[in-house]
Amino acid sequence: MGTETTYHRRRRGLIALLGALAAGLLVLRVRPFRAVVQGSSMEPALADGDVVLALGGRTPRTGDVVVVEHPDRAGFELVKRVAGAPGDVVDLLRNGSRLSHPLPMGAGEWFVVGDAPGRSTDSRSFGPVARGDVRGVVVFVLAPAGRRGWVR
């Protein structure tokens, strides 16, 4: 009976170790981090002061909310929505009129905008962002508790 108990204890320890290794590899792959939304440029999806969870290591798609580094201000991060991914053509309005011109996204370029365009500094002013400037895809609002939930 003692040998059987030792066998099961070792087996449980091995399973726990493998589970911990798998969880560690998952964290390294998705690189979760938190960010705080500042300003009203992402309303109504995200509000000033929302604390969000973002996952690095994911390739953003059109429609995703992302954390990006401002291309002209090192270390300054913005939360914006992807309006154009590599291969997409973004239709830009000219001076708020109906006249527009297409802007094709090149390889490794993302066009990001705020959900409230009149209150947003985004790719319309600084141009597309490079893949290296995309820090992660926002997936969940952590706080405040009343706004907790998945980001769409």
* Tens digit of each residue's pLDDT (9 = 90 or more) over 137-152: 999 999 999 999 999 8
Residue of 120, 33, 143, 20 lying closest to 70 (CA atoms)? 120
- Chain centroid to CA 83: how far? 13
**Domain limits of the chain?**
1-30, 32-150
Query: Looking at the predicted structure, is the pLDDT value of residue 18 above 90?
Result: no
Query: Looking at the predicted structure, is the pLDDT value of residue 70 above 90?
Result: yes
Q: What CATH number should be reported for the domain whose range is 32-150?
A: 2.10.109.10
Helix (H, G, I), strand (E, B) or coil at 40: coil
pLDDT tens for each residue of 96-107: 556 678 999 999
